[in-house]
Amino acid sequence: MTTHELLGTLSTTELLETFAGLECPSVADLHGEYTARLLRQPSVFATVTGAISVANPAFPWLAKAFRPIDPETGRGYNTFRQLGRVVQRFPMHTVIAPSRFDGRPAYHLIYRAFHSFCGDINMVDEVRRFDTGTYLGIGTWGLTDAQRLVPLPFVLEGPVHPYRGDIGKARQGFVPGPREIPALAANDNGDNR
C-alpha cells in the first residue's frame, strides 16, 4: 500500500490526529509542483464541494506549487487542467506559523494575500511532512470562525515539476491576521481587515 493509499483509508479525525504528530517543513523544503489529491472529507457537504471544486473531471486539480522568497516566506499557486491545457490559479503567500488546530508550527498557504476566489473565502491550508516527498495538508475556508475550523484534508507528493512562475495580483497592504492565523488574535490591530 502506497503512502497516499494509506492516508486515503483514514477518517478526517484520524488524519487530523496524524497531522498533529507531524513536523513542519521549512519554507526552503517546498520548491516546485506537488501532485495534489483530496483525502476523506468530514461531511457530505465537504465531499460534494470538494468534488465540484477540485475533483471536477472537466477542470481537475493537479498540483500545488511553491517557491521560497526568503527563509521566512514564499509564494505558490494551484495547477489545474482546463480544456487540455495546464493552467495556474489561486495564488498564495506561504509562511511558517502556529496551526489553528494544535498551535504547533505548520507551513501555511494564505490565499487572501492575493485577489482570487480562494482569497475571498479566506482559504488557508496548513501543511506538514508525512514522509520524504509526501505532505499532509489540512485546508480551511469560510466567512466565520466556526466555518474556518472545519478540517479539509489533502495529500501532496513530489516535487514532480519545476515551479512555473508567479501569478496573481497581491492585495495592497495585506498582512496576515487572526482570520488566517488565529494565534495572531492577541496582536491584531485591525489594520489588515
For the stretch 69-85, pLDDT in tens is 999 999 999 999 988 89
- Mean pLDDT score of the chain, rounded to an integer? 91
The topology under which CATH files domain 3-162 is Lipocalin (2.40.128)
Q: Quote the pLDDT of residue 1.
A: 64
- The span from the CA of 181 to the CA of 111, in Å, is 12
Question: Could you tell me the residue ranges of all domains in the chain?
Answer: 3-162
Q: Which residue has cell 472529507?
A: 41
Exposed (0-12), middle (13-18) or buried (19+): which is 137, by Cβ within 10 Å?
buried
Is the pTM higher than 0.95? The answer reads: no
Q: Quote the pLDDT of residue 110.
A: 98
Q: Say whether pLDDT at 33 is over 80.
A: yes
Q: Which residue in 73, 29, 28 sits closest to 174, CA to CA?
A: 73
Q: Are 148 and 179 in contact (CB under 8 A)?
A: yes
Say what percent of the chain tops pLDDT 90.
Answer: 77
Tell me the mean pLDDT in the region 132-152.
Answer: 94
Give the CA radius of gyration of the chain.
15
Tell me the mean pLDDT in the region 31-51.
Answer: 87
- Residue 4 CB neighbour total at 10 angstroms: 16
Exposed (0-12), middle (13-18) or buried (19+): which is 107, by Cβ within 10 Å?
buried
